[in-house]
Structure 1
Amino acid sequence: MKRTIDLNCDLGEAFGNYPMPADKLLMDYITSANIACGYHAGDPAVMQQTVKTAIEKGVAIGAHPGLPDLQGFGRREIKISANEAYQITLYQIGALHAFVKAANGKLNHVKLHGAFYNMAAKDLQLSNAVVQAICDFDQSLILYALSGSKMIEAANQAGLQAASEVFADRSYQDDGSLTPRTAENALISSDEIAWKQVLRMVKAQEVVAVSGKPVQLKADTICLHGDGVHAISFAKMISEKLKAEGIILKSPGK
Protein backbone atom coordinates (compact mmCIF):
# COMPACT_ATOMS: atom_id res chain seq x y z
CA MET A 1 0.00 0.00 0.00
CA LYS A 2 1.43 3.36 -1.05
CA ARG A 3 1.87 6.08 1.55
CA THR A 4 -0.36 9.15 1.15
CA ILE A 5 -0.15 12.62 2.70
CA ASP A 6 -2.17 15.81 2.47
CA LEU A 7 -0.59 19.25 1.94
CA ASN A 8 -2.70 22.04 3.41
CA CYS A 9 -2.26 25.81 3.36
CA ASP A 10 -4.01 28.72 5.10
CA LEU A 11 -5.42 30.94 2.33
CA GLY A 12 -7.91 33.73 1.73
CA GLU A 13 -6.23 35.92 4.33
CA ALA A 14 -6.41 39.14 2.30
CA PHE A 15 -9.08 41.83 1.97
CA GLY A 16 -10.99 43.28 -0.97
CA ASN A 17 -12.09 42.09 -4.37
CA TYR A 18 -8.81 41.80 -6.28
CA PRO A 19 -6.70 39.00 -7.79
CA MET A 20 -4.58 36.98 -5.34
CA PRO A 21 -1.91 35.35 -7.52
CA ALA A 22 -0.07 33.84 -4.56
CA ASP A 23 -3.14 31.92 -3.41
CA LYS A 24 -3.90 30.79 -6.96
CA LEU A 25 -0.35 29.57 -7.58
CA LEU A 26 -0.12 27.84 -4.20
CA MET A 27 -3.19 25.80 -5.06
CA ASP A 28 -1.20 24.10 -7.83
CA TYR A 29 0.90 22.36 -5.16
CA ILE A 30 -1.47 21.69 -2.25
CA THR A 31 -4.42 19.35 -1.74
CA SER A 32 -6.35 21.23 0.98
CA ALA A 33 -7.07 24.94 1.45
CA ASN A 34 -8.04 26.40 4.83
CA ILE A 35 -9.97 29.57 3.98
CA ALA A 36 -10.19 32.47 6.46
CA CYS A 37 -13.75 33.25 7.52
CA GLY A 38 -13.55 36.97 8.31
CA TYR A 39 -12.60 37.03 11.99
CA HIS A 40 -8.79 37.08 11.88
CA ALA A 41 -8.59 37.82 8.13
CA GLY A 42 -10.57 37.57 4.92
CA ASP A 43 -13.87 39.12 3.93
CA PRO A 44 -16.88 38.12 1.77
CA ALA A 45 -15.17 39.12 -1.50
CA VAL A 46 -12.03 37.14 -0.71
CA MET A 47 -13.98 34.14 0.59
CA GLN A 48 -16.01 34.02 -2.64
CA GLN A 49 -12.95 34.30 -4.85
CA THR A 50 -10.83 31.79 -2.91
CA VAL A 51 -13.64 29.21 -2.85
CA LYS A 52 -14.09 29.62 -6.61
CA THR A 53 -10.37 29.08 -7.25
CA ALA A 54 -10.20 26.03 -4.96
CA ILE A 55 -13.10 24.41 -6.80
CA GLU A 56 -11.47 25.13 -10.17
CA LYS A 57 -8.17 23.62 -9.00
CA GLY A 58 -9.74 20.57 -7.34
CA VAL A 59 -8.44 21.50 -3.91
CA ALA A 60 -10.38 20.40 -0.80
CA ILE A 61 -12.02 23.35 0.97
CA GLY A 62 -11.87 23.91 4.71
CA ALA A 63 -13.17 26.61 7.04
CA HIS A 64 -10.40 28.36 8.98
CA PRO A 65 -12.00 29.96 12.06
CA GLY A 66 -9.91 32.36 14.12
CA LEU A 67 -10.32 34.63 17.11
CA PRO A 68 -12.06 37.98 16.47
CA ASP A 69 -8.78 39.89 16.20
CA LEU A 70 -8.10 41.53 12.82
CA GLN A 71 -5.43 43.83 14.23
CA GLY A 72 -3.45 40.93 15.68
CA PHE A 73 -4.17 38.56 12.77
CA GLY A 74 -5.65 36.11 15.28
CA ARG A 75 -2.26 35.40 16.82
CA ARG A 76 -2.93 37.05 20.19
CA GLU A 77 -4.53 34.97 22.92
CA ILE A 78 -7.98 36.15 23.97
CA LYS A 79 -9.64 34.48 26.94
CA ILE A 80 -12.91 32.97 25.79
CA SER A 81 -15.37 30.57 27.39
CA ALA A 82 -16.18 27.17 25.96
CA ASN A 83 -19.54 28.49 24.77
CA GLU A 84 -17.88 31.43 23.04
CA ALA A 85 -15.52 28.97 21.32
CA TYR A 86 -18.59 27.06 20.14
CA GLN A 87 -20.29 30.23 18.90
CA ILE A 88 -17.37 31.67 16.92
CA THR A 89 -16.57 28.27 15.39
CA LEU A 90 -20.14 27.63 14.28
CA TYR A 91 -20.57 31.20 13.00
CA GLN A 92 -17.45 31.09 10.83
CA ILE A 93 -18.11 27.62 9.42
CA GLY A 94 -21.55 28.85 8.41
CA ALA A 95 -20.14 31.95 6.74
CA LEU A 96 -17.73 30.03 4.53
CA HIS A 97 -20.22 27.26 3.83
CA ALA A 98 -22.60 29.82 2.33
CA PHE A 99 -20.04 30.62 -0.38
CA VAL A 100 -19.15 26.95 -0.89
CA LYS A 101 -22.80 26.01 -1.33
CA ALA A 102 -23.46 28.92 -3.68
CA ALA A 103 -20.56 27.75 -5.86
CA ASN A 104 -21.85 24.15 -5.89
CA GLY A 105 -18.81 23.02 -3.95
CA LYS A 106 -18.33 20.82 -0.88
CA LEU A 107 -16.96 21.78 2.51
CA ASN A 108 -14.39 19.17 3.52
CA HIS A 109 -12.84 20.17 6.83
CA VAL A 110 -12.32 22.68 9.62
CA LYS A 111 -8.98 23.90 10.92
CA LEU A 112 -8.61 26.56 13.60
CA HIS A 113 -6.22 29.47 13.13
CA GLY A 114 -3.36 30.90 15.16
CA ALA A 115 -3.93 31.50 18.85
CA PHE A 116 -7.33 29.77 18.73
CA TYR A 117 -5.61 26.64 17.35
CA ASN A 118 -2.90 26.68 20.01
CA MET A 119 -5.31 27.40 22.86
CA ALA A 120 -7.63 24.53 21.90
CA ALA A 121 -4.67 22.20 21.40
CA LYS A 122 -3.98 22.40 25.14
CA ASP A 123 -7.50 22.93 26.56
CA LEU A 124 -9.94 20.01 26.40
CA GLN A 125 -12.94 22.21 27.26
CA LEU A 126 -12.28 24.50 24.31
CA SER A 127 -11.59 21.48 22.10
CA ASN A 128 -14.87 19.83 23.11
CA ALA A 129 -16.73 23.05 22.29
CA VAL A 130 -15.09 23.32 18.87
CA VAL A 131 -15.81 19.67 18.11
CA GLN A 132 -19.42 20.08 19.23
CA ALA A 133 -19.85 23.04 16.88
CA ILE A 134 -18.49 21.00 13.97
CA CYS A 135 -20.68 18.00 14.81
CA ASP A 136 -23.77 20.19 15.15
CA PHE A 137 -23.07 21.71 11.75
CA ASP A 138 -22.06 18.59 9.83
CA GLN A 139 -20.79 15.34 11.35
CA SER A 140 -19.09 14.41 8.07
CA LEU A 141 -16.57 17.27 8.26
CA ILE A 142 -12.97 16.45 9.18
CA LEU A 143 -11.12 18.29 11.94
CA TYR A 144 -7.53 19.19 11.02
CA ALA A 145 -5.69 19.54 14.33
CA LEU A 146 -2.23 19.37 15.89
CA SER A 147 -1.01 15.80 16.18
CA GLY A 148 -1.33 14.49 19.72
CA SER A 149 -3.32 17.50 20.91
CA LYS A 150 -6.48 17.84 23.00
CA MET A 151 -8.33 18.60 19.77
CA ILE A 152 -7.53 15.15 18.41
CA GLU A 153 -8.61 13.65 21.74
CA ALA A 154 -11.91 15.54 21.69
CA ALA A 155 -12.62 14.51 18.10
CA ASN A 156 -11.91 10.85 18.87
CA GLN A 157 -14.21 10.93 21.88
CA ALA A 158 -17.03 12.46 19.80
CA GLY A 159 -16.57 10.09 16.87
CA LEU A 160 -15.58 12.95 14.57
CA GLN A 161 -12.98 12.16 11.90
CA ALA A 162 -9.71 13.96 12.57
CA ALA A 163 -6.57 14.48 10.51
CA SER A 164 -3.41 14.83 12.60
CA GLU A 165 -1.52 17.89 11.41
CA VAL A 166 2.22 18.51 11.38
CA PHE A 167 4.16 21.57 10.26
CA ALA A 168 6.88 21.77 7.64
CA ASP A 169 8.39 25.08 8.69
CA ARG A 170 7.80 25.23 12.44
CA SER A 171 10.02 23.83 15.18
CA TYR A 172 8.72 21.58 17.97
CA GLN A 173 9.00 21.31 21.74
CA ASP A 174 9.57 18.08 23.68
CA ASP A 175 5.83 17.69 24.38
CA GLY A 176 4.96 17.80 20.68
CA SER A 177 3.70 21.39 20.81
CA LEU A 178 4.90 24.06 18.40
CA THR A 179 7.60 26.45 19.53
CA PRO A 180 5.85 29.79 20.27
CA ARG A 181 6.22 32.34 17.48
CA THR A 182 7.78 34.74 20.00
CA ALA A 183 10.86 32.49 20.17
CA GLU A 184 13.72 33.09 17.72
CA ASN A 185 13.81 29.46 16.60
CA ALA A 186 10.04 29.10 16.03
CA LEU A 187 10.27 29.22 12.24
CA ILE A 188 12.47 27.05 10.04
CA SER A 189 13.93 29.25 7.30
CA SER A 190 16.12 26.64 5.59
CA ASP A 191 14.40 24.70 2.81
CA GLU A 192 16.80 21.79 3.32
CA ILE A 193 16.07 21.52 7.06
CA ALA A 194 12.32 21.85 6.44
CA TRP A 195 12.41 19.10 3.82
CA LYS A 196 14.35 16.75 6.13
CA GLN A 197 11.76 17.41 8.85
CA VAL A 198 8.88 16.71 6.45
CA LEU A 199 10.42 13.46 5.21
CA ARG A 200 11.06 12.24 8.74
CA MET A 201 7.53 13.12 9.86
CA VAL A 202 5.96 11.32 6.90
CA LYS A 203 8.17 8.22 6.83
CA ALA A 204 9.14 7.76 10.50
CA GLN A 205 6.16 9.52 12.12
CA GLU A 206 8.45 11.52 14.37
CA VAL A 207 10.07 14.94 14.59
CA VAL A 208 13.23 16.17 16.30
CA ALA A 209 12.44 18.83 18.91
CA VAL A 210 14.64 21.91 19.35
CA SER A 211 16.26 20.11 22.30
CA GLY A 212 17.35 17.28 19.98
CA LYS A 213 14.83 14.83 21.43
CA PRO A 214 12.89 12.65 18.93
CA VAL A 215 9.13 13.10 19.44
CA GLN A 216 6.58 10.60 18.14
CA LEU A 217 3.66 12.01 16.17
CA LYS A 218 1.08 11.07 13.57
CA ALA A 219 1.24 12.83 10.21
CA ASP A 220 -1.94 12.87 8.12
CA THR A 221 -1.63 16.40 6.78
CA ILE A 222 1.28 18.83 6.49
CA CYS A 223 0.74 22.57 6.88
CA LEU A 224 2.63 24.85 4.49
CA HIS A 225 2.36 28.52 5.37
CA GLY A 226 1.22 30.70 2.49
CA ASP A 227 2.31 34.07 3.88
CA GLY A 228 6.09 33.64 3.60
CA VAL A 229 8.28 35.43 1.06
CA HIS A 230 9.12 32.18 -0.72
CA ALA A 231 5.80 30.40 -0.07
CA ILE A 232 5.20 29.34 -3.68
CA SER A 233 8.68 27.99 -4.35
CA PHE A 234 8.65 26.25 -0.96
CA ALA A 235 5.30 24.56 -1.67
CA LYS A 236 6.53 23.51 -5.11
CA MET A 237 9.70 22.03 -3.64
CA ILE A 238 7.90 20.05 -0.92
CA SER A 239 5.26 18.79 -3.37
CA GLU A 240 7.79 17.67 -5.98
CA LYS A 241 10.12 16.01 -3.47
CA LEU A 242 7.27 14.05 -1.85
CA LYS A 243 6.12 12.80 -5.24
CA ALA A 244 9.71 11.83 -6.08
CA GLU A 245 9.71 9.69 -2.92
CA GLY A 246 6.65 7.85 -4.25
CA ILE A 247 4.29 9.51 -1.78
CA ILE A 248 0.78 10.26 -3.07
CA LEU A 249 -0.62 13.72 -2.32
CA LYS A 250 -4.26 13.40 -1.38
CA SER A 251 -6.78 15.16 0.86
CA PRO A 252 -8.23 13.01 3.69
CA GLY A 253 -11.71 13.80 2.37
CA LYS A 254 -11.11 12.59 -1.19
Structure 2
Amino acid sequence: MSGRRPGFDKAQGDLGFDNPDFWNFMYDDESAPWLIDGPQPVIADLEGQGLIRGRVLEPGCGSGEHTILFTGLGYDCLGTDLSPSAVEYARRTAASKGVPAARFEVANMLRPSDYPFLSPKFDTVVDVAMFHGFGAYGDNLDVAEQYAAVLHSICNPGALVHILAHADSGPGLSSGISDSVIKESFADGWEVESLELSTYQARVTELIAQEAAKAGLPADGQVQLPAWLARLRRV
Protein backbone atom coordinates (compact mmCIF):
# COMPACT_ATOMS: atom_id res chain seq x y z
CA MET A 1 0.00 0.00 0.00
CA SER A 2 1.16 3.54 -0.48
CA GLY A 3 2.25 5.98 2.20
CA ARG A 4 5.53 7.36 3.51
CA ARG A 5 7.73 4.75 5.09
CA PRO A 6 11.15 4.99 6.71
CA GLY A 7 13.93 4.17 4.27
CA PHE A 8 11.83 4.69 1.12
CA ASP A 9 13.82 6.56 -1.49
CA LYS A 10 12.75 5.70 -5.02
CA ALA A 11 15.24 8.15 -6.48
CA GLN A 12 18.08 6.10 -5.04
CA GLY A 13 16.49 2.80 -6.02
CA ASP A 14 15.83 1.81 -2.41
CA LEU A 15 12.42 0.14 -2.46
CA GLY A 16 12.80 -1.22 1.06
CA PHE A 17 13.07 -4.89 0.11
CA ASP A 18 16.03 -5.46 2.43
CA ASN A 19 15.04 -2.98 5.14
CA PRO A 20 12.80 -4.37 7.91
CA ASP A 21 12.20 -0.85 9.24
CA PHE A 22 10.41 -0.16 5.97
CA TRP A 23 7.62 -2.36 7.39
CA ASN A 24 8.10 -2.66 11.16
CA PHE A 25 6.35 0.54 12.19
CA MET A 26 3.12 -0.47 10.45
CA TYR A 27 2.79 -3.43 12.81
CA ASP A 28 4.05 -1.59 15.86
CA ASP A 29 1.28 1.02 15.55
CA GLU A 30 -1.16 -1.23 13.64
CA SER A 31 -1.44 1.29 10.81
CA ALA A 32 -0.97 -1.27 8.03
CA PRO A 33 -3.96 -1.14 5.66
CA TRP A 34 -3.88 -4.93 5.24
CA LEU A 35 -4.62 -5.67 8.90
CA ILE A 36 -8.25 -6.68 8.37
CA ASP A 37 -8.49 -9.24 11.21
CA GLY A 38 -8.93 -12.19 8.90
CA PRO A 39 -7.77 -13.79 5.66
CA GLN A 40 -8.51 -12.43 2.23
CA PRO A 41 -11.83 -14.05 1.20
CA VAL A 42 -10.58 -15.06 -2.26
CA ILE A 43 -7.60 -16.84 -0.68
CA ALA A 44 -9.78 -18.64 1.86
CA ASP A 45 -11.92 -19.84 -1.04
CA LEU A 46 -8.93 -21.63 -2.59
CA GLU A 47 -9.00 -24.30 0.10
CA GLY A 48 -12.59 -25.20 -0.68
CA GLN A 49 -11.61 -25.57 -4.34
CA GLY A 50 -8.94 -28.12 -3.47
CA LEU A 51 -6.12 -25.77 -4.48
CA ILE A 52 -4.21 -25.90 -1.17
CA ARG A 53 -2.22 -29.07 -0.60
CA GLY A 54 0.86 -30.58 0.98
CA ARG A 55 3.45 -28.31 2.59
CA VAL A 56 2.34 -24.69 2.39
CA LEU A 57 4.43 -21.50 2.45
CA GLU A 58 3.10 -17.97 2.94
CA PRO A 59 5.93 -15.54 2.05
CA GLY A 60 5.42 -11.98 3.21
CA CYS A 61 2.85 -13.31 5.67
CA GLY A 62 2.29 -10.00 7.44
CA SER A 63 -0.37 -10.53 10.09
CA GLY A 64 -0.26 -14.27 9.39
CA GLU A 65 -3.98 -14.71 8.81
CA HIS A 66 -3.59 -17.20 5.96
CA THR A 67 -0.99 -19.28 7.76
CA ILE A 68 -3.30 -19.32 10.78
CA LEU A 69 -6.22 -20.39 8.60
CA PHE A 70 -4.40 -23.23 6.87
CA THR A 71 -2.68 -24.44 10.04
CA GLY A 72 -6.04 -24.56 11.77
CA LEU A 73 -7.35 -26.70 8.91
CA GLY A 74 -4.54 -29.20 9.43
CA TYR A 75 -2.01 -28.15 6.79
CA ASP A 76 1.74 -28.08 7.41
CA CYS A 77 2.11 -24.33 6.85
CA LEU A 78 4.92 -21.83 7.41
CA GLY A 79 4.62 -18.04 7.26
CA THR A 80 7.68 -15.87 6.69
CA ASP A 81 8.21 -12.13 6.66
CA LEU A 82 11.14 -9.73 6.39
CA SER A 83 9.75 -7.72 9.31
CA PRO A 84 10.38 -9.03 12.85
CA SER A 85 7.45 -6.89 14.00
CA ALA A 86 5.19 -8.66 11.50
CA VAL A 87 6.31 -12.07 12.73
CA GLU A 88 5.68 -11.13 16.36
CA TYR A 89 2.30 -9.68 15.39
CA ALA A 90 1.42 -12.91 13.56
CA ARG A 91 2.44 -15.06 16.52
CA ARG A 92 0.28 -12.98 18.86
CA THR A 93 -2.63 -13.21 16.45
CA ALA A 94 -2.29 -16.98 16.17
CA ALA A 95 -2.32 -17.34 19.94
CA SER A 96 -5.35 -15.07 20.32
CA LYS A 97 -7.24 -17.10 17.71
CA GLY A 98 -6.48 -20.42 19.35
CA VAL A 99 -3.96 -21.65 16.77
CA PRO A 100 -0.66 -21.49 18.70
CA ALA A 101 0.82 -24.20 16.44
CA ALA A 102 0.99 -21.72 13.52
CA ARG A 103 4.66 -21.24 12.60
CA PHE A 104 6.28 -17.95 11.63
CA GLU A 105 9.89 -17.06 10.88
CA VAL A 106 11.78 -13.94 9.84
CA ALA A 107 13.22 -14.35 6.34
CA ASN A 108 14.27 -12.40 3.28
CA MET A 109 12.71 -14.35 0.42
CA LEU A 110 15.34 -13.10 -2.01
CA ARG A 111 18.04 -14.94 -0.03
CA PRO A 112 16.56 -18.39 0.70
CA SER A 113 19.91 -20.08 1.30
CA ASP A 114 20.27 -18.06 4.52
CA TYR A 115 17.30 -19.87 6.10
CA PRO A 116 17.37 -23.66 6.63
CA PHE A 117 13.59 -23.77 7.10
CA LEU A 118 13.20 -22.81 3.43
CA SER A 119 15.27 -25.77 2.27
CA PRO A 120 12.53 -28.44 2.31
CA LYS A 121 10.36 -28.36 -0.79
CA PHE A 122 6.88 -26.84 -0.73
CA ASP A 123 3.74 -27.95 -2.56
CA THR A 124 1.75 -24.72 -2.28
CA VAL A 125 2.77 -21.07 -2.00
CA VAL A 126 0.30 -18.35 -1.12
CA ASP A 127 1.61 -14.85 -1.82
CA VAL A 128 -0.85 -12.17 -0.72
CA ALA A 129 0.17 -8.64 -1.71
CA MET A 130 3.92 -9.17 -1.65
CA PHE A 131 4.80 -9.92 -5.27
CA HIS A 132 3.47 -6.63 -6.62
CA GLY A 133 6.07 -4.81 -4.50
CA PHE A 134 8.78 -6.52 -6.55
CA GLY A 135 7.13 -5.92 -9.90
CA ALA A 136 5.62 -2.45 -9.52
CA TYR A 137 8.55 -0.56 -11.02
CA GLY A 138 9.64 -1.35 -14.56
CA ASP A 139 13.33 -0.88 -13.83
CA ASN A 140 13.11 -3.48 -11.08
CA LEU A 141 11.40 -6.30 -12.99
CA ASP A 142 14.61 -8.28 -12.51
CA VAL A 143 13.76 -8.46 -8.79
CA ALA A 144 10.36 -9.96 -9.61
CA GLU A 145 12.06 -12.51 -11.86
CA GLN A 146 14.58 -13.28 -9.12
CA TYR A 147 11.72 -13.92 -6.70
CA ALA A 148 10.04 -16.26 -9.21
CA ALA A 149 13.32 -18.16 -9.53
CA VAL A 150 13.56 -18.45 -5.74
CA LEU A 151 10.07 -19.93 -5.58
CA HIS A 152 10.99 -22.37 -8.34
CA SER A 153 14.01 -23.52 -6.33
CA ILE A 154 12.02 -24.22 -3.13
CA CYS A 155 8.93 -25.80 -4.70
CA ASN A 156 8.33 -29.39 -5.74
CA PRO A 157 7.53 -30.07 -9.41
CA GLY A 158 3.81 -29.54 -9.88
CA ALA A 159 3.57 -27.17 -6.92
CA LEU A 160 0.98 -24.41 -7.11
CA VAL A 161 1.79 -20.75 -6.45
CA HIS A 162 -1.17 -18.46 -5.78
CA ILE A 163 -0.54 -14.73 -6.10
CA LEU A 164 -2.97 -12.00 -5.10
CA ALA A 165 -1.42 -8.74 -6.33
CA HIS A 166 -2.77 -5.20 -6.54
CA ALA A 167 -3.82 -4.35 -10.09
CA ASP A 168 -2.77 -1.13 -11.80
CA SER A 169 -6.41 -0.39 -12.57
CA GLY A 170 -6.97 0.46 -8.89
CA PRO A 171 -7.65 3.85 -7.32
CA GLY A 172 -3.99 4.55 -6.64
CA LEU A 173 -3.72 3.27 -3.06
CA SER A 174 -0.88 0.88 -3.76
CA SER A 175 1.88 -0.19 -6.11
CA GLY A 176 -0.35 -1.83 -8.68
CA ILE A 177 0.95 -3.95 -11.56
CA SER A 178 -0.34 -5.15 -14.91
CA ASP A 179 -1.03 -8.80 -15.58
CA SER A 180 1.93 -8.83 -17.98
CA VAL A 181 4.32 -8.38 -15.03
CA ILE A 182 3.13 -11.70 -13.60
CA LYS A 183 3.34 -13.45 -16.98
CA GLU A 184 6.82 -12.14 -17.73
CA SER A 185 8.22 -12.85 -14.27
CA PHE A 186 6.97 -16.44 -14.29
CA ALA A 187 7.84 -17.21 -17.91
CA ASP A 188 10.71 -19.58 -17.14
CA GLY A 189 9.85 -22.86 -15.43
CA TRP A 190 6.20 -22.06 -14.78
CA GLU A 191 2.82 -22.64 -16.39
CA VAL A 192 0.22 -19.91 -15.91
CA GLU A 193 -2.91 -21.92 -15.18
CA SER A 194 -5.16 -19.01 -14.27
CA LEU A 195 -4.91 -15.22 -14.19
CA GLU A 196 -8.02 -13.18 -13.54
CA LEU A 197 -9.11 -9.88 -12.09
CA SER A 198 -10.28 -10.29 -8.51
CA THR A 199 -10.52 -8.20 -5.34
CA TYR A 200 -8.31 -7.37 -2.39
CA GLN A 201 -9.84 -6.30 0.90
CA ALA A 202 -8.11 -3.46 2.76
CA ARG A 203 -8.90 -0.89 5.41
CA VAL A 204 -8.35 2.82 5.14
CA THR A 205 -6.02 3.94 7.91
CA GLU A 206 -4.33 7.26 8.58
CA LEU A 207 -1.38 6.00 6.57
CA ILE A 208 -3.36 6.09 3.31
CA ALA A 209 -6.21 8.46 4.22
CA GLN A 210 -5.06 11.22 1.88
CA GLU A 211 -4.69 8.85 -1.07
CA ALA A 212 -8.11 7.35 -0.30
CA ALA A 213 -9.74 10.78 -0.29
CA LYS A 214 -8.17 11.65 -3.65
CA ALA A 215 -9.56 8.40 -5.05
CA GLY A 216 -13.03 9.15 -3.74
CA LEU A 217 -12.96 6.33 -1.19
CA PRO A 218 -14.29 6.45 2.38
CA ALA A 219 -12.08 8.12 4.99
CA ASP A 220 -12.05 4.95 7.08
CA GLY A 221 -13.38 1.41 7.12
CA GLN A 222 -12.82 -1.44 4.71
CA VAL A 223 -12.63 -1.11 0.94
CA GLN A 224 -12.40 -3.51 -1.99
CA LEU A 225 -9.53 -2.92 -4.41
CA PRO A 226 -8.95 -4.55 -7.78
CA ALA A 227 -6.30 -7.27 -7.73
CA TRP A 228 -4.91 -10.00 -9.93
CA LEU A 229 -5.43 -13.55 -8.73
CA ALA A 230 -2.93 -15.84 -10.43
CA ARG A 231 -2.37 -19.58 -10.22
CA LEU A 232 1.00 -20.79 -11.46
CA ARG A 233 2.23 -24.37 -11.64
CA ARG A 234 5.90 -25.19 -11.19
CA VAL A 235 7.20 -27.34 -14.05
User: TM-score, normalised on structure 1?
Assistant: 0.37
Structure scoring higher RCO (CA < 8 A, sep ≥ 6) equals 1
Larger % of helix: which? 1
Larger % of strand: which? 2
